[in-house]
Amino acid sequence: MYALIDCNNFYASCERVFQPQWQEKPVIVLSNNDGCIISRSEEAKALGIPMAAPEFKIRTHLKQHKVKVFSSNYSLYGDLSQRVMGIMRTFTPNVEEYSIDEAFLDLNEIAITNHHAYGQQMREKVLKWLSLPICVGIAPTKTLGKAANRIAKKYQEHTGGTYVMDTDEKRLKALKWLKAEDVWGIGRRMAKRLKAKNILTAYDLIQPHWHDWIKKEWGVVGLRLKMELEGIPAIGDGAVPESKKSIATTRSFPKQLTDYDLIRERVSTFATVTAEKLRKQNSCCHMVIVMLVADKHSIDDPKYHYSKGITLPFATNSALTISTVAVQLLKEMLAETNTVRFKKAGIIVTELIPQDAKQLNLFNNEDPRHLALMKAMDKVNEKNGKRIVRLATQAAKTWDMNQKMLSPRYTTDINEILTVQCR
């Protein structure tokens, strides 16, 4: 059996751990730059506040219903996520972290007499230790585990937050209930094609007469998915790669940018952050890619996504090198297009290798002083908590990220921990 655990309204729930006065009240969390709604408490959902809505569009609605609004606090969410995963490892060593708020647990090597009770123990432990509500779905395959979790969450009053799909009867009932588009692994495009064929539920999908169509149109991925729905595990472990094969830093701009200097500043900053991420995991990258997204609606040109990459003669994690290369790529990209308004940029580095496996190249090597400089820069920045040492290309500091409603970093910064009044 596999369990899929996920945290309910994770970001909104995290905000309530240290600010419990917002329990049972409408709470939402905004994306980077306080743009769109990315998490809603149950109470906020009940008010009809839509997911992904831009905050400014529904501001009056939020005020009217006294909805508590938070900027996203990824330091807090990341720490609490790691704690949830740690708690899961007390139930089985075989935990696959699937996303910040979801994990698959392989329960096959553990003798459990009562799966429902085991799932409830997980819920109770996470609730007691962290004040975070989770739901647990347990089933013979990961795909069915996802479905079981959906049932656990949707019918929480009935299931108590844990649903175990342990008989064929339950499985078939669930498959008839589950829409094909909601099956784990079915993307929007595939969902459309299924709908065109009148395959509407997960149950339709496993009908024998669709077998050949799935095989032809979808290949081995589709057949695996079908097997999973039939209760035969076909998606192995390690669906999530162990170490990151690429690192990306992408952000939307708070407003559309046309000015080269400002775009360059952003690209350079993202490059610096990416280089820092590389150094943190002791990796170097061989390839740097810059991407730019134009505002779809502001141009006639149907192309709005631009990217350009380069393979370096040596692997690096120097902010200087990556930033210089990225700015060069940006210049080339801008020279090739007439688009002037952009709303998003990003840096992606790939072909990662461990820092200590870095090969020396006979002719093209990085200035060895970079390494020492980066070390010194990291040290100063770490000590001061913020990125006070920057590259000159980052000098056009025309804005900071909009985070007007950011909560304290309760678990990761000693200066921001919770203070309790001894009254």
Partner 1 sequence: MPVNSNKPRLSIHPAETDSLIELPLFTHGVSAGFPSPALDFMEYKIDLNKYLTRNALSTFYIRVSGHSMINAGIDDGDLLVVDRSLDPADGRIAICLIDGEFTVKRLKYTPDGLLLMPENPAYQPIAVTDQNQFVLWGLVTYVIKKII
Q: Which residues bind partner 1 (CB under 8 A)?
A: 20-21, 23, 83, 86-87, 89-93, 110-114, 117-118, 120-121, 125, 128-131, 410-411, 414, 417-423
Characterize the bridge pairing of strands 2-7 and 134-139: antiparallel
Between residues 23 and 282, which has the closer beta carbon with respect to partner 1? 23
Between residues 46 and 110, which has the closer beta carbon with respect to partner 1? 110
| Closest separation in Å from C-beta 247 to partner 1 | 21
| Closest separation in Å from C-beta 261 to partner 1 | 39
| Closest separation in Å from C-beta 124 to partner 1 | 9
Burial of 66 (0-12, 13-18, 19+ CB in 10 A): exposed
Between residues 335 and 414, which has the closer beta carbon with respect to partner 1? 414
Nearest to 134 by CA among 80, 94, 171: 80
Between residues 128 and 209, which has the closer beta carbon with respect to partner 1? 128
Between residues 6 and 34, which has the closer beta carbon with respect to partner 1? 6
Burial of 223 (0-12, 13-18, 19+ CB in 10 A): middle
Spatial separation of the C-alpha atoms in residues 140 and 373, rounded to whole Å: 53
| Closest separation in Å from C-beta 274 to partner 1 | 23
Q: Which two tokens stand for residue 345?
A: 């940029």
Between residues 122 and 345, which has the closer beta carbon with respect to partner 1? 122
First to last CA, the chain: 50
- State which H helix or E strand residue 38 sits in: strand 37-40
| Closest separation in Å from C-beta 125 to partner 1 | 7
Spatial separation of the C-alpha atoms in residues 335 and 74, rounded to whole Å: 36
CB–CB of 203/175 below 8 Å?
A: yes
Between residues 84 and 352, which has the closer beta carbon with respect to partner 1? 84
Spatial separation of the C-alpha atoms in residues 352 and 312, rounded to whole Å: 12
| Closest separation in Å from C-beta 128 to partner 1 | 6
DSSP labels for 169-235?
HHHHHHHHHSBGGGSTT--HHHHHHHHHTT--BHHHHT-GGGHHHHHHHHHHHHHHHHHHHTT---S
| Closest separation in Å from C-beta 96 to partner 1 | 15
